[in-house]
Structure formats: C-alpha cells, structure tokens
Amino acid sequence: MENSNVFTLAGVSYVIQNTPILTGITLDIRSGEHWALMGPSGAGKSTLLRLFNSLISPTSGAIRFHGQPLESTDVGRLRKRVGMLFQEAVLVNGSVRDNLTLPRQWVRPVPEYAEEQLTEALERVGLTPGHLTTQARSLSGGEKQRVALARVLLNEPEVLLLDEPTASLDPPLARKILRLIADLQRELNLTVIRVSHHPDLVRSFAGQVLFLDKGRIVEQGPIVLLDQPRTQDFSRFLREAQA
Amino acid sequence: MTQSFYSLSWTDVFASMVLVLFSIGLLRWWKIGLEKTLIIGTLRTFVQLSAMGYILTYFFGQRHWLFMVGLVSLMILVASYEGYRRQKTALHIPHYFIIITGVLTLTVILVLGSVLTFILHVQPWYYPYAMIPIAGMIIGNALNTTSLTVNRFVGELEHREAEIDMLLSLGAPPRAAIHDAIRESVKAALLPTVNSMMMVGLVQLPGVMTGQILSGIDPLIAVRYQIMIMYMWVTASTMTNILVLALVYRQFFTPRQQLRCDLLRRS
Ligand SMILES: Nc1ncnc2c1ncn2[C@@H]1O[C@H](COP(=O)(O)OP(=O)(O)OP(=O)(O)O)[C@@H](O)[C@H]1O
Ligand SMILES: [Mg+2]
C-alpha cells in the first residue's frame, strides 16, 4: 500500500528570511484523493501547494513523490505531472490556441498536437472550438480560468494543485468549474489538492480535509472532520467561514 | 588637413563662456534656481575636458602595447564599478560585478579588435590615437544601455512574477519563462540607439562630427567615420545587453528552476 502514496511529506518546514512559514508538515496523499486545504489567510496554504511541484523547496524535511525524493526528480517533468492552477488565471498574450500550445514550445523536437486534441481539451472545460482563435485578453474571468485548466490538462497531469482558482468567480460559476474538476478527476483518475475557503464547496467535492494555522497542521483527515472538528480553532474557523 | 579651418585658442574658449553667462542671466531673471548648478557644470566641463586633453596627449605619446592593454583594462574596471554602483538592484544580483566586467571585456575584445584590425587596419593595432577613443566609446555606451536593461529586467521580473510562476508550473525551463522579460528589457534599452540611427543626419549632426567638421575635416571623411561609429555602437550595445542578461537571468533561479523571490522586492 506504500506505493499508492503520491506524495509523502515528513517533517517539512519552510523558512523565509528567518520567518517560519510552514513547520513540521507530515502528510500522506494517496492516488485519486481530493484534498481541501483550509485555514485563515496567511496560514501557509499557497506555500504548501507550491512545495508539491517544486516551485519552492522545503528548508528542512523530506517530500517524496511516488516514493522518490522530490529533489531527485527531473523538475520539468515533475511540473508537467503535477499541474497547478492559480487564484488568478494567467494567460499569455495571443489567442487561446497560443495559450493551449504554449507548453509544446519547450519540448524539442516540437511535437505536433492533433487539432482534435485542442478542440477536445476546450470541450472538456465547456468551451467550443470556436474559442481557439479568440484573443486571450478578451475572455471573461471564468473563461480564462477554463482555458488555464484546459492548458494544464493538455500536459496530462496526474495531480492537480488548485489555489482557489474559483475565488474570483461568482458562486454558481465556481460551482460549475469545481463540478467539472470533480468529473475530470474521476474520468482521468486525478489526485486533487485544492485550497478552499468555503466549507460548502469543500463538502461537495473533497474527500479529505486539512486545516492549517500559522504554518502548522491543526487537523487532517476525512471530510467528516468538517462536521466533527476536533479542535476549537477549526470549529471557530468553520463557524466564521459559514457566516 | 590637420590645419584647422577656424583655429580655436584658449582665449576663444573663454569667450564661449560668455554664452553661458547669458543663459545664467536668463535663469536668474525667471528665478529658475538652476544657476549654481549650471555654473558648476560649466566649470566642470572646462576642467574635465581640458584635463582629458592633457591626459590623452600623454597617452598618445605612449607606444607600448602592454600600456595600452592596461589602460583599456582600467577603463573596463572603472566602468564596471560605475555600472555596479549605479544599479539600484545590482547589489542583490549575485556575481553582478564579475558579469559586467567579463561581458565588457569580451565586447571590447571582439568589437574593438575587429574595428582596429579589419576595418581601420590600424598599424600597429595598439596605436593609441585609434584605440583609446574607440574603446572609450564602446565601453561608455555599452555601460549606459546595460544599466538600463538590467534595471528594466528586474522591474519586469517583479511585474511578471505571477506569469513566470505560471510558466514554470507548466514545466517551462527558466529561459522560456523569462523570455518576454528579456525581450522587453533589451528592446527598451536598444530603442534609443536604433532610433538615433533612424534620425541621424536628418536634423542634427552628432556632436563628434560637428567638432570634426569645424576643425577642418572633409565632411565626406567625417561622415564615413560617423557611419562606422554608429554601427560599432549598436553592435557593442546589443552584445553587452544580451550577454549580460543571459548571465544575469540565471542568478534569479535556483538549480531546481525556482524563481528566487528573495532577490526581488527587496530593492
Ligand atoms: N516570498 C515570500 N516572502 C516573504 N513572505 C512570504 C513569501 N511567501 C509567503 N510569505 C508569507 O508566508 C505566509 C503564508 O503565505 P501563504 O501565501 O502561503 O498564505 P495563504 O494561506 O495562502 O493565505 P491566503 O489565504 O491569504 O492566500 C504569509 O504570512 C506570507 O506573508
Ligand atoms: Mg494563498
């Protein structure tokens, strides 16, 4: 069963300019799980997320990816296998097609995408092939986020890191995108690690929850923790988030 | 040809100061408050250029290649230090001083070397009349544009942090992730030079050429030199800018291809 762990974190700490941001994070993430990272602003959620695809490295402690130390993986390949969506979708200037085919330019020789791969990727996130020629900057916030999702999925990741990609969207649209991600997760057997502030959105889609405060894990476990928090901090956080 | 058209004596130079007095009068009249600075500037122009004249006369009397190489090296070191000091952010860029010194040296060897040997056919190659002014021109211009580029580049990195993180997270190599930042900074730094190539001769003559023509040199000769200088100039700037950024951008990434945020923002 050891092998079904996608990520294993053992005593991971991250310190920046002598300030501890994350302290003693120990955590197992298994294949196909959907984790919700919760916690007050500044708790270190984004920082934790960035550790998973080596956008930053831990100051101490060890992260393993499929049992292999993260530091010894090829970082380019790792980042393709562990895709990330940010709070604000960042698209480059140019058309939607330019954005979707962006990661191709970094591979030599430049691989050819079959046209249907692009249209399929767009349809998967609820856009139409007609969007391929649209200028990225003329898209709405929700459409941008979908294009970013389609772009990440074209890398065929096995893990998806989501840093509140729906925070800037209105609730119905946010729910729609999260449903999409939940469907994709089942379809592609993705492991999802997602930062979220909304207990409702966590309850609907996540299977596991982790509550972070001041850089430390306060609670972690199955989603039922949302209804039976073991600590005062978490229950207060949930009460305030609900209100 | 060496006979000056209009011989300009030191007395004549003093007379030209009267022109500045006139400006000072105007500034006073409108209470602009720049008179003192202008007076200092006027005196410094006089002192620095006269001193330079004497120093050049001394250097032009030297005839040993080692002396010339030493002099050009000193010019490079002084320029690199000046560039290093002038950088608002440079103190945080690791190896920055070594980078500019190295790149300036390489540029001088390549550009000055080819101008002296293949273009001007100077014999011997270290003939001071050619070497010193050309080296000064290359180093000075390269230094100015490099300061612009590097400042701009750091600004671009700060501004594009989210974009760079996004590109890295998709698996982009650092070089691809900062490509737009490099393009924008090089463009911004080279544009004035390239624009001056567009405009040169249309309205205004470059200062050097005006001086040459006044001192009696055939305009057709002066023009040829100016054309060569412009080409040399743009090449030296392009080379230094691109090479410096090619080395500088690497300092902003860890071996794990992570953007070093600790080098940004602190400026
Ligand atoms: N590069 C950095 N330099 C300095 N401090 C940083 C840096 N990155 C993060 N921090 C600090 O680390 C702490 C955690 O940041 P992080 O972005 O992980 O929080 P978060 O839980 O995602 O918060 P939010 O919910 O507001 O997004 C914050 O106090 C932040 O100021
Ligand atoms: Mg965050």
Looking at residue B248, its pLDDT comes to: 95
pLDDT > 70 fraction of chain B, expressed in percent and rounded: 95
For ligand 1, atom 24, the nearest C-alpha belongs to A41
Instruction: Enumerate the β-bridge partners of residue A159.
Output: A82, A191
Percent above pLDDT 90 for chain B: 57
Residue with tokens 């050619």: B130
**Residue B230 CA, distance from chain mean position:** 12
pLDDT of B210 above 60: yes
**Per-residue pLDDT tens digits for B75-89:** 999 999 888 887 766
Minimum distance, in Å, between the CA of residue A93 and any CA atom of chain B: 10
List the domain boundaries for chain B: 1-60, 64-266
Distance A83 CA to ligand 2 centre (A): 17
Q: What is the per-residue pLDDT across B245-263, written as a single tens digit (0 to 9) for each?
A: 999 999 999 999 999 988 8
The interface residues of chain A toward chain B in range 160-219, judged by CB-CB distance below 8 A, are none
* pLDDT < 50: residue spans in chain A: 1-2
Residue A69 near ligand 1, beta carbon < 6 Å: no
**Per-residue pLDDT, B205:** 74
d(CA A224, CA A233): 16
C-alpha A233: how far from chain center: 25
> Tokens for A232?
């005062």
pLDDT at B182 over 90: yes
Ligand with an atom nearest the CA of residue A50? 1
pLDDT of residue A1: 43
**CA-based nearest distance A170→chain B, Å:** 22
* Ligand with the closest atom to the CA of A163: 2
**Contact present, A54 and B254 (Cβ < 8 Å):** no
Q: Determine the residue among B175, B256, B258, B262 to mutate to test chain A binding: the one whose Cβ has the most chain A Cβ atoms within 10 Å.
A: B256
Residues by chain with Cβ below 5 Å of ion ligand 2:
A 46
CB of B261 sitting under 6 A from ligand 1: yes
Buried-exposed string A202-214: b where 16+ CB fall within 10 A, e elsewhere = beebbebbbbbbe
Contact A105 B166 (CB under 8 A): no
pTM: 0.87
Q: What is the pLDDT of residue B82?
A: 83
Question: For B209-221, what is the mean pLDDT?
Answer: 85
For A70, which residue in chain B has the nearest alpha carbon? B256
Domains observed in chain A: 5-242 (3.40.50.300)
- Please report which residue ranges of chain A form alpha helices under DSSP H: 45-52, 75-81, 96-100, 115-124, 141-154, 171-188, 199-205, 232-242
Candidates B170, B178, B261, B263, partner chain A, best to mutate (most A CBs within 10 A): B170
Q: Does B262 touch chain A (CB under 8 A)?
A: yes
Tens digit of pLDDT for each residue in A156-212? Answer: 999 999 998 877 777 887 888 888 889 989 988 999 999 998 888 888 889 999 999
> Which segment of B21-35, B90-104, B183-197, B237-251 scores lowest on mean pLDDT?
B90-104
Any atom of ligand 1 within 6 Å of the Cβ of A41 = yes
Q: Give the number of whichever ligand sits closest to the CA of residue B259.
A: 1
